[in-house]
């Protein structure tokens, strides 16, 4: 009596064909092999089968003993350096069949070329992001310097009436941070809307990842504080007599 044909399916296939049911023991039939029922014997997590940006899709894995394939890929997980295991893997496979052609490479090397476009895109986005951050810092510094120069007389009056330098410093930084916070809120709102169209370019991170947005907001505010500090420090050191003479 021949053994039944078996296969292991992924979670997407289980949910699509047998929602709310236990798929173990169920049977499927392939279009390429009509009439050959295949029994489901296991369910595994979804994976990436054609590209890293693909949406989850139904998939099944069949044993080589029942479904021969001309070429087979075997993935070996190791906790150490994978390059040290390549010789051992080749040796074990050659013991099974000395004439078997074998190509064993680390997964990072195998994925280097397919991931190159995504990495180039990430580098470009990172470069333009840093450039935008630099321009924002320069802009905030320029605006705060202009505000301080226009309010020199007012700052002199405040200090002549007893305002401390720390008060002037805190007041100037607070005004700059208020503008930065408004800009950050507007920018994050626009980013939430735009990233929905960039989901296909993201891998390993959600388009609405809260840690990413929080980190960007903290970084922008930190840069704003630094950009506001120098004009604020200069304003706090203005002599009241010189400031009162300024129109």
Encode pLDDT of 41-69 as tens digits.
999 998 888 777 778 899 988 888 888 77
Q: What is the pLDDT of residue 45?
A: 92
Stretch 186-194: mean pLDDT, rounded? 83
Q: Which of 109, 142, 159 is the last residue of a domain?
A: 109
- 216 and 125 both lie in a single domain: yes
Asked whether 203 and 118 are in contact (CB, 8 A), the reply is yes
Q: What is the pLDDT of residue 34?
A: 67
Give pairs for 206-214: CB < 8 Å, separation 24+.
213/188
Q: Which of 76, 109, 142 is the last residue of a domain?
A: 109
Stretch 173-186: mean pLDDT, rounded? 82
- 103 and 124 both lie in a single domain: no
- 210 and 177 both lie in a single domain: yes
- 142 and 90 both lie in a single domain: no
- 153 and 86 both lie in a single domain: no
State how far the Cα of 177 lies from the Cα of 197, in Å rounded to an integer: 31
Q: Band of the pLDDT at 16, cuts 50, 70, 90?
A: very high
Residue 8 has pLDDT above 70, yes or no: yes
Highest averaged pLDDT of the listed ranges 175-189, 198-212, 224-238: 175-189
Give the range among 15-19, 193-197, 243-247 with minimum mean pLDDT. Answer: 243-247
Task: Sheet with 37-44: list strands edge to edge.
Answer: 27-29, 37-44, 5-10, 60-61
Range of the domain at 116: 112-245
Secondary structure (3-state) at 40: strand
Secondary structure (3-state) at 2: coil
State how far the Cα of 26 lies from the Cα of 5, in Å rounded to an integer: 12
Q: What is the pLDDT of residue 13?
A: 94
Q: How many folded domains does the chain comprise?
A: 2
């Amino acid at each position: 009596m021949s053994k039944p044909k078996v296969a292991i399916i992924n979670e997407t296939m289980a949910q699509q064909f047998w929602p709310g049911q236990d798929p173990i023991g169920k049977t499927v039939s392939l279009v390429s092999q009509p009439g050959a029922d295949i029994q489901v014997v296991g369910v595994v997590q979804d994976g990436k089968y054609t590209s890293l940006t693909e949406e989850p899709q139904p998939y099944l894995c069949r044993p080589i003993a029942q479904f021969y394939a001309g070429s087979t890929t075997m993935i070996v997980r190791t906790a150490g350096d994978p390059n040290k295991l390549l010789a051992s893997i080749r040796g074990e496979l050659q013991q099974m069949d000395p004439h078997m052609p074998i190509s064993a490479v680390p997964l990072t090397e195998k994925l280097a070329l397919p991931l190159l476009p995504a990495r180039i895109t990430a580098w470009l986005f990172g470069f333009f992001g840093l450039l935008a951050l630099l321009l924002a810092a320069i802009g905030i510094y320029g605006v705060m310097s202009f505000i301080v120069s226009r309010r020199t007389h007012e700052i002199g009056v405040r200090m002549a009436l007893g305002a401390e330098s720390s008060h002037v410093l805190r007041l100037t930084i607070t005004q700059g941070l208020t503008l930065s916070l408004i800009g950050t809120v507007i920018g994050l709102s626009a980013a939430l809307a735009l990233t929905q169209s960039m989901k296909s370019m993201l891998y390993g991170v959600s388009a609405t990842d809260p840690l990413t947005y929080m980190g960007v907001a903290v970084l922008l505010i930190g840069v704003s504080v630094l950009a506001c500090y120098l004009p604020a420090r200069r304003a706090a050191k203005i002599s009241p007599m010189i400031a009162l003479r300024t129109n």
